[in-house]
Amino acid sequence: MDEEKLLQQLNKFTRRKLSPDEVYIFSVILCDNEVDRDNEKFTVKSLEKLSGLFVGKTGIFDHDAKGSNQTARIFCARLEKDPERKTLDGEEYVCLKADAYMVRTNSNSDLIKEIDGGIKKEVSVSCLAMKKTCSICGANVSKHPCSHEKGNFYGGKKCFYLLEDIADAYEWSFVAVPAQVSAGITKFFGAPQIPKEQAELAETEKRLFEEIKSEVTKLCFLAYPSSSKGLEKIVEKMSLDELCELKKSLIDCVCGDLKPQISAVYKEDLSRFKLGGGKQFEP
Ligand SMILES: [Zn+2]
């Protein structure tokens, strides 16, 4: 795109027409469809969505961002393919490239020099992906976690999450980093907001789950002191239902058959379990 056309486009975003001398225009790669260091990747469809959402969005320069002059604005974004390059999962490489502008002022002249000076750039984008899909089994892990862990290999294939259903794009920040630091794309995602009550409920559930786990572990020790180590490992993997079931039978076992000499040792411990309607413990 020639300068005249670029200016026309960016002037759609300005209150008055800016002349070529007044603006500094540069392009930046916002993100791509490569599997990133978090073992996540955007689908091409997500990149298309983002290309629309990022137009008009302001970018921040993370260093020395004192004034409003230290911001740039995207006025044009497009997908660019590189048929020569393949992504980790064998797709044709596609990146989201944006044109951004800054109004030249005295205070940002140094910054402009830095960008011009070929210093490698690292961009972080923040956006909202409503869906994350497991590359191995196709599960929507933002709703139902699957057994695969991103970064691990299954049958020779690396597991990663596909970022889909992009709901919004917020901002992008432009970080000038020295060339020797490995360049790449970092990104931050706002997770869908969980309502407060729901979050608190989840917290309570988690706590109760941990509590019952530790209770069952102690009961295992009381009932089967010699094999308690092995049982502990099994308990770690049990569901809440299974734990409740096991707890009941362990209480019966401990209260029913406890030998007097053992019971004396564990009497104090056992009293902490609040056995409720169960048999009263007598040494
Ligand atoms: Zn999976």
**b/e per residue, 254-282, with b = 16+ CB within 10 A?**
bbeebeeeebeebeeebeebeeeeeeebe
CA–centroid distance, residue 14 to ligand 1 (Å): 47
The alpha carbon dihedral of 82, 86, 91, 96 has a sign of negative
CA–centroid distance, residue 189 to ligand 1 (Å): 21
Quick one: pLDDT band at residue 180, thresholds 50, 70, 90? Answer: very low
Which of the two residues, 70 and 151, has the higher pLDDT score? 151
CA–centroid distance, residue 13 to ligand 1 (Å): 43
Q: What is the pLDDT of residue 215?
A: 85
The region that residue 52 occupies, defined by phi over 0 for left and psi between -120 and 50 for alpha, beta otherwise, is alpha
pLDDT at 28 over 90: no
CA 24 to each of CA 18, 20, 27, 119: distance values in angstroms, whole numbers, following the listed order: 11, 8, 10, 16
Query: What is the C-alpha separation between 8 and 18, in angstroms, rounded?
Result: 9
CA 8 to each of CA 104, 105, 168: distance values in angstroms, whole numbers, following the listed order: 17, 21, 26
pLDDT at 241 over 70: yes
Which of the two residues, 1 and 97, has the higher pLDDT score? 97
Q: What is the pTM of this model?
A: 0.59
Q: Which tens digits make up the pLDDT trace of 38-56?
A: 899 999 999 999 999 999 9
CA–centroid distance, residue 6 to ligand 1 (Å): 44
Residue among 276, 277, 273 at smallest CA distance from 216: 273
Q: Which tens digits make up the pLDDT trace of 266-282?
A: 444 444 443 333 333 33
CA–centroid distance, residue 36 to ligand 1 (Å): 18
Query: What is the C-alpha separation between 110 and 59, in angstroms, rounded?
Result: 17
Query: Are residues 189 and 129 in contact, defined by beta-carbon separation less than 8 angstroms?
Result: yes
Residue among 170, 186, 185, 257 at smallest CA distance from 219: 257
